Amino acid sequence: MCSISELPTELIQLIIDFALHSIGDSLISNALNFALVSRAWTIHARSQLELWLDENRVKFQKLRTFTELCQHPLSTFKFIGALILSNYGSTRMTRSLLDHTAVNTFLNRRFPTKKKGLILEGVFSQLKVLTFDRVGWWTLNQTARDSIHNSFQLVTELHLRHVSFSDIQEFQVLICSFPLLERLHMTLQQSFTSFSVLKTPTNLQLPKTLYSIEIRTEDISTLRGLATITPCPSLRRFRWRSNVFYHLEEECAIVGKFLAAAGSSLVELSLEFGVDTMSNDIRVRKPAQEVAIQQFERFHDCVDLAKNTSLQRLTLDIRPDPYLHF
């Protein structure tokens, strides 16, 4: 009988995956316990964890501690599977979080002179999941952008949470920087310049592995970003959650073109419409069923699924504001 340390890598991964996602206790504490079994188990257990770096950790003492941990010879940071870079957490509310520079600080942080190079690109080059949260792309200098574009080549899942771009080409370059990207989740903020005259540069190509896109729209920005990565020939799964309940003609037209361009590759489509809780439009006070029917009729007028011949699962959902009583 072989010892635990001699188990095949695939079996170790299956054991850890099953245990961590079936036990009701804290995933973090259980993953740390598995990491103590042996060195071989440490790699797989740590890959289940995510590291959140936000503005609270930019303070000098915490940032210095983080740097020391990263350069320690026994550090297991490099095995962490997910990294979140966020401007959230600041107590300074004098300006928008999009204008804060915490993410830029992390991306520019270097090892001490004895070991050259940027910390994030040197330690986290094995990342699978990368998240940017509340980041204005104009706050990133060229060093930070180059690090993002060239250092995380193994990322398969990208999350853009309330990220804003002043130039649509910045968004295109970012998406095309991950050759193994499989899943894209995005909520963009603030409108781009007119996207109708912009095309994807000929030297950029969407990852051939990108099969799943999930978007959440609070304004037109996310869908304008979606328009610039049309067509996505490898798309198999698309989910759209809209919080902008009315005046969706432009949004539906963009989604219609995107789905048509996907053609027969699309297998699963999920659409969820929610009432805009900030709207003063009296129409949201109609009965939810009546509103839902009108909304889906509008979507049907703009979207033709005839080209999606392999579509197997279609989900349509309506989420009325729970605070409105009809």
3-class SS at 78?
helix
C-beta of residue 50 within 8 angstroms of C-beta of residue 80: yes
Looking at residue 61, its pLDDT comes to 61
Tens digits of residue pLDDT in 186-210: 998 875 654 444 455 556 789 999 9
Looking at residue 234, its pLDDT comes to 93
Looking at residue 43, its pLDDT comes to 67
C-beta of residue 326 within 8 angstroms of C-beta of residue 287: yes
C-beta of residue 188 within 8 angstroms of C-beta of residue 163: yes
Sorting pLDDT into bands at 50, 70 and 90, what band is 114? low
Q: What's the rounded mean pLDDT across residues 39-55?
A: 73
Looking at residue 278, its pLDDT comes to 46
Sorting pLDDT into bands at 50, 70 and 90, what band is 177? very high
* Orientation angle between helical segments 168-175 and 221-228, nearest 10 degrees: 60
3-class SS at 237?
strand
6-20, 58-72, 123-137 — which one is most confidently predicted on average? 123-137
3-class SS at 160?
strand
Looking at residue 277, its pLDDT comes to 45
The pTM for the full model equals 0.82
Q: Which of 10-19, 139-148, 317-326 has the lowest mean pLDDT?
A: 317-326
With residue 153 as reference, give the H or E element that holds it. none
Tens digits of residue pLDDT in 258-305: 999 999 999 999 988 776 544 555 555 555 556 666 666 777 777 888
